[in-house]
Amino acid sequence: MTKQATAQKSNVAEISAGKPKRIEEHIIEVVSDSGEGAQKCGQTFGTVSGKMGNGVWTVEIIPAEIQPPARSKEGASGVRIRLGHKYVTNMGDEADLVVALNEQVLYNRIENRAFREGTVVLLENKWAEDPQPQIREDYAKAVADFKERGLIIHELPLEKECLKIVKNARKGKNMFVLGMLCRIYSRDTQRALDEIAKAFARKGEAVIKPNHDLFKAGYQYAVDNLEYHYEVLPEKEGVQKPTIVTNGNTAIGLGVLASGMDCLAMYPITPATSASHYLADVFHQTGGFMHQAEDEIAAAAYAVGSSFSGKTAVTITSGPGMALKTEILGLAVMCEVPLVVVNVQRGGPSTGQPTKIEQGDLLSALYSMPGDAPKIIMAPATISECFHFVVTARKLAEAFRTPVIILTDANLATGVQPYDRPEPQAEWLASPIDQSEWDKNVPAYEWDEETGISPRPIPGQKGGEYVLTGLAHTKRSKVAYDSMSNQIGCNMRSRKMAAVAATLQKPKIHGDDEGDILVVSWGSTLGAVEEAVDRMRADGHKVSNVHLRFLHPFEKDLKEIFSKFKKVMTVELNYSDEPDMPLINDSTRRYAQLATILRNQFVMDIDCWSIVQAAPLQPGVICKAVLGRLEKLN
C-alpha cells in the first residue's frame, strides 16, 4: 500500500456521521511559534479533561530561546496532551492529531519522532497567500513533503476565522483551536468556558468575552467543517477524590512548603528555576524565605549555613549548577550538615541542552566530590512523587544528618498530570529548632558505632559550642592531626548509608518475578517503561521491570530480584556505548550510569540500553530496544 493510500484509508475510516467515534486514547499536539498561546490552549484542554475524569499527561514543547525566529524548526513551542480512557503515565509514542499554526515548526516534531504515517495535521493555511513569495513557496513545499511522509494534512483558514471576531488573531487563535479540539474530542464545553474565565479572571470581562467567542467559533467551525469527532470516555465520570494538577517543578515547590523547610537558596538555571519561581510566589504562606544568591556556589553555601544554624534548608538547581555546588556538598557531607538538594537534570555535558531531558547526573551526584563523600540520592518517578520525596528527603536529611540529593529531570519538571491531592500533616513539618542546654560531655559528633548517626548541636544551645570544620576532625570537631580520626570519620559517614539502607523496602516488580529480561529503570521513565513492558508481556514475552527510587543507598534485595532473570538490563536517558559500535568490546564499552553502579555493586553482568536524544522515552522505542536484546538472548 502506498503512503497516499494509507492516508486515504484512515481518512475514510475516521469520518463520522453525527455520533462521535469512541476511542481508548489519543495523543494530541498543538504547535506554534512561541507567544501564540499554544501552551495555554493545551493546558486548558488538559485541565478540562482531568476534571472530566480522563487520564491526562501534558508535556510542554519549549524552544531554547525566548524569541526564536518565527516560522523556524528551532522555534517550535507548544504542548502535547495524551488523553486517555484510563490513567496515563507518560507522553506515549507518536501523535494522532496535531494542530499547527505554521508548517515549519512541524519539522521540529518530525525530528523528534512525534508523528507517524496517518497522523492528522490541522494546519493554518494563511501562509499559502502570504505576501512574501519565499513563505508561499516554503509552505507549498512543506505541505507536499508532509503528504509524501504520510501525514494527513487539512489546511484550515484559522486566521481568517479568528479575524471575524478579533482584530489581532495572534492573540486569540489558541482559544479558537481549543474550541476545535473540544468539539473533536467531545469535551464538556461548560467546563472549558469556566476554565477560560478563570484564566482571564484578572483581566476582566472585556478579555473573557472575546476569548469565549473565539472558543465557541472554533467549536462551531469544527462541527461544520471537520470530519473528526471522537469520544474518550473517562473510566469514571468526574473527579473521584481530591485531585490536583501540577507539573513536577511546582510539585517540588509544594513539597518544600509541606516539609516545613523555610529557607531556599537558589541561582537561576533552566530547567530548575520554575520551582523557585513558584516558591518565590507562595513561600510566605508557610513563613519561608527564598534567597537568590550571586552564584550557584553561594546558593549552596547559604543553604548550608542556614541548615547549620537551624532547620534543614534546600537548594534547587540543574547539572551545571550541581557542578559548581560540588565543593559545598562535599563540606556538607564531611561536616554532616542536613541539606536537601534538588537537581532537575538536563542534557549535558557542560551547558548541554538546557531545556531537554537527560538522566546524566547520577554518577556525578555520587562521585564528583573529592575523597569519600557518601550521601543519599533519591529519584522520584512521577509528579506526585516529586512532592512526597521532598518531604521524605527533609526527614532523612535531619535523621541521618546528611545531604540528600533529589534527581528529577526536565520531563518531570514540565510534564503536567492530575494526581491525588496530598493531605499535609503536622508531622511532615520540621520541628522548631532545639535551643535547650546541651550536655557539655556530649561531643559534636557523638557517633553511634552501629549506625554512624549522631545528634546535632545547633548554635544557641549552651554547652554545645563547637567549630564545624571541613578539615578531618575528631568527634569533638577538633582539627585532626592524628592518623585514625579521618578513618573513623569516614567509617561513620559511610555507616550511615548502610543504616539508611536498612530502613528501605524491597522494590515492587512490575510483571512476573522471574523471566527472560528484567528492565531496571529510574526517574521519570517509569510510565513509559511500564507501558512498554505491558505491551511486550501482552505479546507473550517474559519481560518485567523494577524501577528504583533510591539510587544511594539501594533498596533491599536487588541481587535476589536480578538473579531470577536470564538477563538484567537498564533503560536510561544518558550515554552508553552500544556493543556493536566501532572499537567497542568488553574492555572499552562504557555503560549507562545506573548500569555502571549496579554492575559495580552486585558484580553481575548487567546490560544497558540508553540514548541522549533530547526527548523523553517513548514506550515503542523501549519495546524495540528490549526486543532487540531479547532476540540475541534466545
Is residue 31 classed as helix, strand or coil in its secondary structure? strand
Residue 597-616 contact track with another protein, rule CB under 8 A, x = bound: --------------------
Tell me how far, at minimum, the Cβ of 383 lies from another protein, in Å.
11
Would you count residue 469 as binding another protein (CB under 8 A)?
A: yes
Listed residue (143, 177, 144, 139) closest to 29, CA to CA? 177
Would you count residue 484 as binding another protein (CB under 8 A)?
A: no
**466 versus 575: smaller Cβ distance to another protein:** 466
Would you count residue 305 as binding another protein (CB under 8 A)?
A: yes
Would you count residue 123 as binding another protein (CB under 8 A)?
A: no
Beta bridge pairs of residue 406:
342, 378
# of chain residues touching another protein (CB under 8 A): 69
Would you count residue 294 as binding another protein (CB under 8 A)?
A: yes
Preceding peptide of 349 cis, ω within 30°: yes
Q: How far apart are CA 151 and CA 4, in angstroms?
A: 9
Would you count residue 178 as binding another protein (CB under 8 A)?
A: no
In the set 16, 240, 309, 505, which binds another protein (CB under 8 A)?
Answer: 309
Give the CA angle between residues 230, 622, 584 to the nearest 5°: 155
Would you count residue 331 as binding another protein (CB under 8 A)?
A: yes
Tell me how far, at minimum, the Cβ of 320 lies from another protein, in Å.
16
Tell me how far, at minimum, the Cβ of 303 lies from another protein, in Å.
6
Listed residue (598, 565, 594, 592) closest to 579, CA to CA? 592
Tell me how far, at minimum, the Cβ of 478 lies from another protein, in Å.
7
For helices 319-335 and 296-309, angle between their N-to-C axes, nearest 10 degrees = 30
Q: How far apart are CA 391 and CA 380, in angstroms?
A: 12
Give CA torsion, residues 522, 524, 530, 533, to 10 deg.
Answer: -70
Tell me how far, at minimum, the Cβ of 463 lies from another protein, in Å.
7
Tell me how far, at minimum, the Cβ of 238 lies from another protein, in Å.
10
**313 versus 621: smaller Cβ distance to another protein:** 313
Residue 394-433 contact track with another protein, rule CB under 8 A, x = bound: ------------------------x--xx-x-x--x----
Q: What DSSP state is assigned to residue 454?
A: -
Would you count residue 298 as binding another protein (CB under 8 A)?
A: yes
Would you count residue 301 as binding another protein (CB under 8 A)?
A: yes
Is residue 522 classed as helix, strand or coil in its secondary structure? strand
Would you count residue 311 as binding another protein (CB under 8 A)?
A: yes
Following DSSP, what letter does each residue of 62-109 receive, concatenated? Answer: --SSSSPPTT-STT-EEEEEEEESS---S--SS-SEEEESSSTHHHHH
Burial 352-361, CB ≥16 within 10 A → b, else e: bbbbbbbbbb
Tell me how far, at minimum, the Cβ of 386 lies from another protein, in Å.
13
In the set 199, 293, 442, 499, which binds another protein (CB under 8 A)?
Answer: 293
In the set 471, 499, 501, 614, which binds another protein (CB under 8 A)?
Answer: 471
Residue 344-383 contact track with another protein, rule CB under 8 A, x = bound: ----------------------------------------
For residue 160, give the C-alpha cell: 481568517
Listed residue (328, 469, 480) closest to 405, CA to CA? 328
**157 versus 455: smaller Cβ distance to another protein:** 455
Q: Exposed (0-12), middle (13-18) or buried (19+): which is 282, by Cβ within 10 Å? A: middle
| Binding window for another protein (CB under 8 A); candidates: 268-276, 461-469, 490-498, 551-559 | 461-469
| Binding window for another protein (CB under 8 A); candidates: 31-39, 463-471, 509-517, 526-534 | 463-471
| Binding window for another protein (CB under 8 A); candidates: 169-177, 213-221, 326-334, 346-354 | 326-334
Tell me how far, at minimum, the Cβ of 301 lies from another protein, in Å.
4
Would you count residue 285 as binding another protein (CB under 8 A)?
A: yes
**50 versus 347: smaller Cβ distance to another protein:** 50
Q: How far apart are CA 224 and CA 471, in angstroms?
A: 75
Residues in the chain: 634
Tell me how far, at minimum, the Cβ of 307 lies from another protein, in Å.
8
Residue 180 near residue 226 (C-beta atoms within 8 A)? yes
Q: Which residues contact 167 (CB under 8 A, 6 or more apart)?
A: none
CB count in 10 Å sphere of residue 449? 9
In the set 138, 154, 207, 308, which binds another protein (CB under 8 A)?
Answer: 308
Q: To which H or E segment does residue 309 belong?
A: helix 296-309
**144 versus 479: smaller Cβ distance to another protein:** 479
Residue 147 near residue 118 (C-beta atoms within 8 A)? no
Would you count residue 239 as binding another protein (CB under 8 A)?
A: yes
Listed residue (404, 384, 418) closest to 48, CA to CA? 418
**135 versus 329: smaller Cβ distance to another protein:** 329
In the complex, the residues that contact another protein under the rule CB under 8 A are 47, 50-51, 239, 242-246, 250, 254, 257-258, 260, 262-263, 265, 282-289, 291, 293-295, 297-299, 301-311, 313, 327-328, 331, 418, 421-422, 424, 426, 429, 457, 459-471, 478-479
